[in-house]
């Protein structure tokens, strides 16, 4: 029996992936909403600093989201037949966070790679990371338009 014929393992991977994507998107949405409101209320002698605060806020959101996906892979690997991480034996939480970071940012060094059903989490992490990074770029552009010239 190959790994992909174990439908229980596949279902576990899909459920963990859906939870991770949902958490990352909600955190990103609420985080950007909070940042936007906080920056608008903040009285600053140098309004351009608000752009820096926005950048650090966005980076913090992305780091949290990378950890969410890393934790999701780590949890999925606790179940039988969900796969493994090539290049990392045994696999620790920090290994899965590293895998998440290189996947989320679409860098993909190739020194670690998901094997088996957890590849679904990897592909979804890359797609979600791409979308959230683009969303952050749009947010940053709007904040720069608002505060850069003042």
Q: Residue-wise over 96-127: b if at least 16 C-beta within 10 A, else e?
A: bbbbbbbbbeeeeeeebbbebbbebbbebbbe
Asked whether residue 135 is assigned to any structural domain, the reply reads yes
Question: How large is the average pLDDT for residues 8-35?
Answer: 97
Asked whether residue 126 is assigned to any structural domain, the reply reads yes
Asked whether residue 133 is assigned to any structural domain, the reply reads yes
- Domain span at residue 87? 27-147
Model confidence at 115: pLDDT above 80: yes
Asked whether residue 1 is assigned to any structural domain, the reply reads no
Residues 50-77 pLDDT 10s = 889 999 999 999 999 999 999 999 999 9
Asked whether residue 67 is assigned to any structural domain, the reply reads yes
Domain count, the chain: 1
Locate 75 and state its tokens.
């949890």
* The model's pTM: 0.91
Asked whether residue 21 is assigned to any structural domain, the reply reads no
Asked whether residue 102 is assigned to any structural domain, the reply reads yes
Residue 106 is part of a domain; what is its CATH number? 1.10.287.70
């Amino acid at each position: 029996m190959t790994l992909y014929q174990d439908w229980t393992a596949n279902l576990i991977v899909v459920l963990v992936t859906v939870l991770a994507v949902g958490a990352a998107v909600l955190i990103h949405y609420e985080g950007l909403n909070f940042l936007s409101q906080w920056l608008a209320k903040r009285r600053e002698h140098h309004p351009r600093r608000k752009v820096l605060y926005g950048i650090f806020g966005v980076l913090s959101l992305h780091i949290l989201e990378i950890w969410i996906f890393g934790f999701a892979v780590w949890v999925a690997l606790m179940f039988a037949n969900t796969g493994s991480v090539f290049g990392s034996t045994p696999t620790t939480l920090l290994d899965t966070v590293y895998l998440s970071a290189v996947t989320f940012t679409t860098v993909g060094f190739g020194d670690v790679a998901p094997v088996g059903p957890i590849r679904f989490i990897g592909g979804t992490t890359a797609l979600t990371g791409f979308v959230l990074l683009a969303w952050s770029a749009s947010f940053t552009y709007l904040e720069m338009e608002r505060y850069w010239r003042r």
